[in-house]
């Protein structure tokens, strides 16, 4: 079964109640699954708003990772841009971007296996954020592929818990995200 490509969409939206629900409904109606969603206060530079000066907290930046048919995604983006509280929506698939994600992993770690786990962590520039008697909690940041590889290498040791932030990104250069 072929896998559908992942798409990363960024949205600049007005920070108002109900905006997230309306956006998720656009995806839902088209049968698109949202893989990850990150929302944070956003800064709208003057290039985004034709010189309009935004008040702090007036806008939020959403980064949505989803998979599905590219033609359907094109329709979704057009529908998103029609929503009153959406300033702009951009599909960054195939564009030059800087992306990052963060993950916390709780690993079952007996004393005799810690050296190996810590060597893997060091190679991925992960940080130990908690030492327990029988466990370690590691924090790693980077591109999604890096996180996937890190998780894959630690699975044999026994991952007790895993939390991932979802992808954030920014367009390279002066292009708008």
The pTM score is 0.79
Predicted confidence at residue 125, as pLDDT, reads 97
- In this prediction, what percent of the chain has a pLDDT beyond 70? 90
**Domain interval for residue 29:** 6-94
Q: pLDDT digit string (tens) for 56-109? A: 678 999 999 988 888 888 999 999 999 999 999 999 888 888 999 999 999 999
11: left (phi over 0), alpha (psi -120 to 50) or beta: beta
The residue out of 70, 94, 118 marking a domain boundary is 94
Residue 109 belongs to a domain with what CATH number? 3.30.70.1150
Q: How many CA atoms lie within 13 A of 95 on its CB side?
A: 20
Q: Is the pLDDT of residue 48 over 80?
A: no
Q: Indicate if 105 and 151 belong to the same structural domain.
A: yes
Domain assignment of residue 153, yes or no:
yes
Give Cα separations from 45 to 53, 95, 173 (angstroms). 8, 20, 14
Residue 127 has a CB neighbour count (10 Å cut-off) of 12
Q: Which residue has the higher pLDDT, 17 or 31?
A: 17
């Amino acid at each position: 079964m072929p896998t559908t490509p992942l798409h990363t969409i960024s949205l600049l939206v007005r920070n108002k109640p109900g905006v997230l629900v309306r956006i998720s409904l656009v995806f839902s109606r088209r049968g698109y699954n949202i893989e990850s969603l990150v929302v944070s206060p956003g800064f709208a530079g003057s290039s985004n708003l034709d010189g309009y000066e935004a008040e702090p907290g007036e806008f939020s930046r959403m980064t949505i990772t989803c998979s599905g048919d590219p033609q359907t995604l094109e329709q979704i983006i057009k529908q998103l841009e029609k929503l009153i509280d959406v300033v702009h929506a951009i599909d960054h698939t195939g564009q030059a971007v800087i992306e990052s994600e963060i993950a916390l992993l709780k690993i079952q770690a007996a004393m005799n296996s810690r050296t190996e786990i810590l060597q893997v962590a060091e190679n991925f520039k992960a940080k130990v954020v908690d030492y327990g008697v029988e466990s370690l909690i590691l924090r790693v940041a980077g591109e999604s592929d890096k996180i996937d590889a890190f998780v894959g290498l630690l699975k044999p040791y026994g991952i007790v818990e895993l939390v991932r932030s979802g992808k954030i990104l920014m367009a390279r250069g002066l292009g708008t995200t």
